[in-house]
Amino acid sequence: MTEDKKTKKIGRYTVVGRLGKGGMGSVYRVIMPVTGKMVALKLLDPFETLVDVMGMDKVEAIFISEAVIMARLRHPYIADIWDFDYDEKGRPFFIMEYYCKNLGTMIGEHYQIERKSRVISPEEVIHYGSQIIEGLACMHHAGIIHRDIKPFNIMITDLDTVKICDFGMSRQRGEKFPGPDTLKVGSAYYAPPEQMQNPDSADERSDVYAVAVLLYRMLTGELVGMKSLSLSRVNPLYDSAWDRFFEKGLALQPDSRFPDAPAMLDALKHLEIHWENSKKQACRIRSGLGAGQTEAECKQRNEPVRAAGVNAKKIFNVNDLFQPKTYIANRLERKTDEIIIDHATGLLWQFSGSDYSLDRQGADSYIDELNTKKHAGYDQWRLPSVNELLSLIYESTSLESHCAPQYFEPTKKWFWSCDWRSKTTAWYVNMDMGFTGWQNSHCYCYVRAVALVSGAI
């Protein structure tokens, strides 16, 4: 890595920041020359212990093999390789498209992996799970076993589709692992027993097991072994079909699992039918929403702030998973095709919001345009605070999100707030999962403008 006038570069790419580091290498957010497009760069930068155990030649060979494997695969749910080169120190690196979101950050998985994570709705679990399995089917057809399926290796695009990445642990079917027998391959809790005991024994069914662990965690917020596998016993929205799916997917013996990815995908698609029936039955017995709060409890902060860490949790009134500590009993009314009024908070909301996702600068420009045009007759539109966006969230552990009337355009989930974490990172809210998080201001979210206009209600 060179440094010229405080500008760091790897090869011809300008480094913006480091996204993370694993055993094999470091991943950076970089800018392409000329076009200025932001992409992800993975540089060979292994842990010293890995080099001591395997030797640098073998580590480099595995790194290059990862790039070659990814370049061979062409599938909409598998990450692409755009470039491969060496830096001035002779270290190999490759370029991938940059995605701001992944399932790990979405569920809030912690470095203390045993901690409870956020729960994703069954519709979304089926949506993401189907894509992951389809991507695996393509890999397996090419004779490649991934061996490290986990939340942080599943990227989420701006179009809400998945991209399987990080093929550093992958191998060609029948290929022998070059490392010593004592070196574990895969991630704790997600890798199946046979892979942890003997990495060379991993096959398609090993990836199937890892996907089942991932889906189970997304549904429950728990890891397998920390909670009953029988979903029907812990949530009336699930029937015995879900129990049978996970009993098969998580079987300790490979021969008892789904034999391949297509078989697992077929079973998952059948769950969608059972889920719809269970949801309809649950909603029929649902009675009313929560009681209202006082005017003071419903009033939300509307001035932008810059906050991080513990201070942010206090200002946003969120728990350790950055979900609301308390929920507002909204009194929503569809005023016009463009306007939703919340009589509880006194806020006017756009029904749909921006037609397309925007970066943070584009979000500000969109608000300026609304006010210039007096959108829906108002010229006091602004970006909402995190607190205001979270006031629209239903409690995720209840049935409101499944049974309540749909007041807002349902396909848009990620929205910018007016709040900042730093000069280059801003807070957003995921409306589907009901949490706030932060990301680089070059990332893309939708905008749902808000206003508080005297006499409008």
Q: Which residues are designated catalytic?
A: 148
Place of tokens 């027993």: 193
Element (H, E) at 127: helix 122-141
Q: How far is the C-alpha of 173 from the C-alpha of 170, rounded, in Å? A: 9
**Helix ranges (DSSP H) in 190-260:** 193-197, 204-220, 231-234, 240-249
Residues in the chain: 457
What letter represents residue 185's amino acid?
V
Give the Cβ contact number of residue 58 at 10 Å. 14
Q: How far is the C-alpha of 427 from the C-alpha of 444, rounded, in Å? A: 12
Q: How far is the C-alpha of 17 from the C-alpha of 337, rounded, in Å? A: 42
- Contact present, 249 and 209 (Cβ < 8 Å): yes
Residues 6+ apart with CB under 8 A from 121: 401, 402, 432, 433
Q: How far is the C-alpha of 96 from the C-alpha of 46, rounded, in Å? A: 19
Give me 5's structure tokens: 């006038």
- Contact present, 32 and 40 (Cβ < 8 Å): no
Residue 122's SS3 state is helix
Element (H, E) at 106: helix 103-107
DSSP string of 150-203? Answer: -GGGEEE-TTS-EEE---TT-EETTPPP-S-TTS--S-TTTS-HHHHH-GGG--
- Nearest C-alpha neighbor of 15 from the set 24, 25, 2, 23: 2
- Nearest C-alpha neighbor of 42 from the set 22, 72, 71, 58: 22
